[in-house]
A and B are shown apart, each in its own frame.
Chain A
Amino acid sequence: MRQSHTTDDAGFNYMENSGQEEHDRDMVGIILAVAFMVLTVLVQRAGLL
Chain B
Amino acid sequence: MNIPYEERRRSFLSCFYSMQESLPGLLAMFFIALFSNNLAGSPNPLTLENLFGWLDGVIGPVNHQPLFQILNSNFVWNPFLVGLIIGNVFGVPDSWKRGLSYIHKLMPLGIIMLAPHFIFSHAEKAGMPLILLAFAVMLLTSVVTMLLGRLLRMDDRFYSTVAGALSTGDPHVVAILMPMLKSKGGQVINALGSILLFGLVASFLLPLLGHALGMEDKAFAVLSVFGIGNTGQMFNAAFGYSYEAGHWAHYFESVRHALMPAGFLFVFFVMFIRARIYRDDENVMATRAHKSLPLFIIVFIIAYVVVQFHVVKEPAHLAIFELVKWDFSLAAAALGLSLPLREIAQWGLRGVVLAFTSGIIRIAVLVLCLLAAAHFNFPLF
Complex A–B touching at CB under 8 A: yes
Chain A residues with Cβ below 8 Å from B203 are: none
Cβ of B132 within 8 Å of any chain A Cβ, yes or no, is: no
Within 8 A of A (CB), among B129-178: none
Contact with A along B1-13 (1 / 0, CB 8 A): 1100110010011
From A12, A18, A25, A26, contact of B289 by CB (8 A): A18
Chain B residues with Cβ below 8 Å from A17 are: 101, 104, 179
Known: A26-B294, A33-B299, A36-B323. A20 touches B5 (CB 8 A): yes
From B14, B97, B110, B338, contact of A24 by CB (8 A): B14
A40 B97 Cβ-Cβ under 8 A: no
Within 8 A of A (CB), among B307-342: 311-313, 315-316, 319-320, 323, 334, 337-340
CB distance from B301 to the nearest CB of A (A): 12
* C-alpha gap A25/B102 in the complex (Å): 8
Cβ of B112 within 8 Å of any chain A Cβ, yes or no, is: yes
A21 to chain B: closest residue by CB: B5
CB distance from B96 to the nearest CB of A (A): 8
* C-alpha gap A32/B312 in the complex (Å): 16
* C-alpha gap A15/B295 in the complex (Å): 20
* C-alpha gap A36/B105 in the complex (Å): 14
B108 A33 Cβ-Cβ under 8 A: yes
Known: A37-B113, A44-B316, A49-B316. A28 touches B12 (CB 8 A): yes
* Interface residues in A, total, Cβ within 8 A: 38
Chain B residues with Cβ below 8 Å from A43 are: 316, 319
* C-alpha gap A8/B303 in the complex (Å): 37
B92 A4 Cβ-Cβ under 8 A: yes
B334 to chain A: closest residue by CB: A14
Known: A5-B339, A41-B311, A41-B312. A29 touches B98 (CB 8 A): no
From B100, B107, B108, contact of A14 by CB (8 A): B100
A30 B295 Cβ-Cβ under 8 A: yes
From B108, B110, B323, B337, contact of A26 by CB (8 A): B108
Most buried by B among A7, A13, A19, A33: A33
Chain B residues with Cβ below 8 Å from A36 are: 109, 113, 320, 323
From A12, A32, A44, contact of B98 by CB (8 A): A12
Chain B residues with Cβ below 8 Å from A7 are: 97
Known: A10-B2, A25-B15, A27-B295. A20 touches B315 (CB 8 A): no
Cβ of B251 within 8 Å of any chain A Cβ, yes or no, is: no
Chain A residues with Cβ below 8 Å from B269 are: none
Cβ of B361 within 8 Å of any chain A Cβ, yes or no, is: no
Cβ of B123 within 8 Å of any chain A Cβ, yes or no, is: no
Cβ of B103 within 8 Å of any chain A Cβ, yes or no, is: yes
Q: Assuming A14-B100, A25-B101, A32-B109, what are 16 further A-B pairs, CB within 8 angstroms? A: A3-B338, A6-B97, A11-B1, A12-B2, A12-B98, A14-B97, A15-B103, A17-B104, A21-B6, A26-B105, A28-B13, A29-B106, A30-B299, A33-B112, A33-B299, A36-B323
Pairs across A and B, CB under 8 Å, 26 listed:
A3-B338, A4-B92, A5-B87, A5-B338, A6-B338, A7-B97, A10-B2, A10-B94, A12-B97, A14-B100, A14-B338, A15-B101, A20-B5, A21-B6, A24-B15, A25-B104, A26-B295, A28-B15, A28-B16, A29-B105, A30-B299, A33-B110, A34-B112, A34-B303, A37-B112, A49-B319
6 closest Cβ pairs, A-B complex:
A29-B108, A33-B112, A11-B2, A8-B94, A14-B101, A44-B316
Q: Which residues of B contact A (CB under 8 A)?
A: 1-2, 5-6, 9, 12-16, 25, 87, 91-92, 94-95, 97-98, 100-101, 103-113, 115-116, 179, 185, 289, 294-296, 299, 303, 311-313, 315-316, 319-320, 323, 334, 337-340, 343
